[in-house]
Structure 1
Amino acid sequence: MRNISDIIEGYLKKVIELDGKGHIEIKRSEIAEQFQCVPSQINYVINTRFTADRGYLVESKRGGGGYIRIVRVRAHTKAELIETILVSLELGASQTMTEDIVFRLIDEDVVTKREAKMILAALDRTTLKLPLPHRDEVRSRIMQAMLLTLKYEQLK
């Protein structure tokens, strides 16, 4: 059974896709009312499921007429997407960041779900039994190597 966060995330993604503009503007209180949850639940979903690593840009305007704009950012090519991700990995990669990147790679049809599972298994904290920050550095270097391989496969 899916939890409320999954349902809200699915709804917002569906609205973004159906809208055709690649973005939506929402009022947190209206979405919370629609799903009969507290507004902080909407904040949680937006802050954890609509991140830059997952390919989203979130803007907000506070106040009485305030809104939250969620923009889907898509690269022009798969190679461009991979290059953008490589730059983001230069300072290391936490497990959460890696998971977000892999979800984006699935969403953008760069990797299959099977490949994603293998990437996540290889980069999991239980596999990389190293102390921080070395673990994040090694995770980043392994992810970069995998992405470079994918990038060159895309260019063939």
Structure 2
Amino acid sequence: MAGQNISDIIEAYLKQILAEQQQIEINRSEIAAQFNCVPSQINYVIKTRFNQQQGYWVESKRGGGGYIRIEKLQFNDLNHYIDQLLDFVDSRLTEDELQFFLQQLYDHDMITKREAQIVAVLAAHQTLNLDHRIAEETLRANLLIGLLNSLRYQRLS
């Protein structure tokens, strides 16, 4: 676990459980105690790494018997998943945001690691070398939209 921070470790732990079950219910305080961290750290991990954009549904109940329920979303088909991703693509995209989308495509076996690396290099600031950040981010968003639509049409034929 060298090089991993506590958020990475908590994420891996929850994803390991979710690999075996469609849905889990956790107690924020119990998980925090297990990892010797503050409960807000659990909130941070869930908010940033288990949201709808990443294929999860999160529901929480506060109070004495409170819980956090995390459920893996099941997409009816890949086209539905692509539609979901397209809904999250803004008209401009930073390199970090593109990297996030590429990771999602890789995690869902829609592209290979090599393909993700190639797209990342092609859309990198050093490659695009545009004078205006807005133009660069717009081009990057258009490239991702084109890639997503290409994946959709590949899947249909």
TM-score category, normalised to shorter length: 0.7 to 0.9
Q: TM-score, normalising length from structure 1?
A: 0.82
Cα deviation for residue 33 of structure 1 reads: 0.7
CA distance in 2, matches of 1:68, 1:132: 39
Q: 1:47 to 1:153 in 2, by over 3 A?
A: same
RMSD: 2.3
Q: Which residue of 1 aligns with 2:55?
A: 55
Q: TM-score, normalising length from structure 2?
A: 0.82
Asked if 2 retains the 8 angstrom alpha-carbon contact of 1:56 and 1:72, the reply is yes
Q: Does 1:13 align with 2:15?
A: yes
Q: How many residues align structurally?
A: 154
Q: Which residue of 2 aligns with 1:105?
A: 105
CA distance in 2, matches of 1:65, 1:130: 55
Name the SS of the counterpart of 1:71 in structure 2. Answer: strand
1:3-152 aligned within 5 A: 3-19=5-21, 22-89=22-89, 91-124=91-124, 127=127, 129=130, 131=132, 133-152=134-153
Mean alpha-carbon deviation: is it higher for 116-125 or for 65-74?
116-125
Any stretches of 5+ residues in structure 2 without a counterpart? Answer: none
Any stretches of 5+ residues in structure 1 without a counterpart? Answer: none
Cα deviation for residue 114 of structure 1 reads: 1.4
Asked if 2 retains the 8 angstrom alpha-carbon contact of 1:57 and 1:70, the reply is yes
